[in-house]
Amino acid sequence: MTDYNAIDRLTAQLSRAQSGASERQADVAGRLHRARRVVVLSGAGISVASGIGTYRGAGGLWENPELLEAHQVESLPDSLPIIWSVKGPMRARALAARPNPAHMALVKLERQLVGRGGSLTIITQNIDGLHQRAGNTEVLEMHGSMMRSRCYDRMCALKPFEDTYAPPAGEVPICPRCQVQPLRPDVVLFGEALPWSVISAAESALHQAEVLLVVGTSGAVSSATTTIDSAAAYGVYCVLINKEPWDHPHPHVNETLLGPAEEVLPRLVFLADAQAGPA
Ligand SMILES: [Zn+2]
């Protein structure tokens, strides 16, 4: 039996999406529709609608000089009480948070691409684990994950492990393996190198991609600009999706779509699915 209600709902949804779509959105949707391999670089802006704040800008974490100093690698291990006093509550907030429509749109995009023999790789600057919880399968965490902990002593046999424990203020958890050294969150601090395995996997994904979507990140984050530079070197079409334009536009960004990720991404993915982009 034909489900006319479902058809009506779909038609209404399609016409709403098409009527609100600009020519530029339609062009990007067309590129996504034709692409087999897409890379997304996501930053803090994608998690704002999940209630997780950004680090930079007014009210951001890095506005506080004491916190900024504590997150420098040379401040370890003395700064671990401060780091945990920040990361503990953040961990609790991330656990309580839910993926938002921007995350869910990327799950849908991955299914579309995989369905035609392609792939979606997400390179994320975020440490909240929300892409994985939404259901994306190929997520490269450039800055580590606050949902993992590891021993402060690199020589300790303990491997980084999934950890949901949010220590109360003032507590620094001790390594369960050596029972001597403190634990630290498995995140990249200022002055630490980005994980090599992630960088090389990201390079190889960019090398094969047709489109790079840069979502919700500031041009002030060096990993954003270097990713765009790499993409440009491989001839990948680069689209910036951000709430506001960058202070210093990157010369290799081919298209900019302004707006919150949780609005722009679902619309783009819906349009790509509806094959509404130019052929
Ligand atoms: Zn240890």
What is the C-alpha separation between 101 and 263, in angstroms, rounded?
8
Residue 79: pLDDT over 80: yes
Report the separation in Å between the CA atom of 153 and the middle of ligand 1, taken as the mean of its atom positions.
6
Residue 5: pLDDT over 80: no
| Cα end-to-end span (Å), the chain | 33
**Residues with CB in 5 Å of ion ligand 1:** 151, 156, 158, 175, 177-178, 181
Q: Choose the final residue of a domain: 132, 154, 187.
A: 187
Q: How distant, in Å, are the alpha carbons of 46, 77, 268 from that of 271?
A: 20, 50, 5
Residue 45: pLDDT over 60: yes
Residue 212's domain comprises: 27-52+99-143+193-274
Query: How many Cβ atoms sit within 10 Å of the Cβ of residue 204?
Result: 11
Say yes or no: 77 and 115 in one domain.
Answer: no
What is the C-alpha separation between 5 and 73, in angstroms, rounded?
58
pTM of the model: 0.87
Report the separation in Å between the CA atom of 150 and the middle of ligand 1, taken as the mean of its atom positions.
8
| Total domains in the fold of the chain | 2
Say yes or no: 134 and 84 in one domain.
Answer: no
Q: Is 250 a catalytic residue?
A: no
The answer to whether 144 and 186 have CB atoms below 8 angstroms apart is yes
Say yes or no: 230 and 167 in one domain.
Answer: no
Query: How many Cβ atoms sit within 10 Å of the Cβ of residue 268?
Result: 26
Say yes or no: 77 and 48 in one domain.
Answer: no
pLDDT (0 to 100) of residue 9: 63
Q: Tell me what the pLDDT averaged over the chain comes to.
A: 90
- Which CATH number covers residue 250? 3.40.50.1220
What is the C-alpha separation between 232 and 219, in angstroms, rounded?
16
- Which CATH number covers residue 180? 3.30.1600.10
Report the separation in Å between the CA atom of 54 and the middle of ligand 1, taken as the mean of its atom positions.
31
pLDDT (0 to 100) of residue 276: 43
Report the separation in Å between the CA atom of 193 and the middle of ligand 1, taken as the mean of its atom positions.
21
Q: What is the mean pLDDT of residues 201-212?
A: 97
Say yes or no: 210 and 88 in one domain.
Answer: no
Query: Is 105 within the bounds of a domain?
Result: yes
Say yes or no: 161 and 251 in one domain.
Answer: no
Dump pLDDT digits (tens) for 109-159.
Answer: 999 999 999 999 999 999 999 999 999 999 999 999 999 999 999 999 999
Choosing from 33, 103, 131, 143, the catalytic residue is 143
Query: Is 162 within the bounds of a domain?
Result: yes
Say yes or no: 156 and 257 in one domain.
Answer: no
Report the separation in Å between the CA atom of 162 and the middle of ligand 1, taken as the mean of its atom positions.
15
Say yes or no: 263 and 137 in one domain.
Answer: yes
Query: How many Cβ atoms sit within 10 Å of the Cβ of residue 279?
Result: 6
Choice between 18 and 74, residue whose per-residue pLDDT is larger: 74
Closest residue by Cα to residue 52 from 83, 104, 87, 79: 87
Say yes or no: 152 and 267 in one domain.
Answer: no
Choice between 170 and 5, residue whose per-residue pLDDT is larger: 170
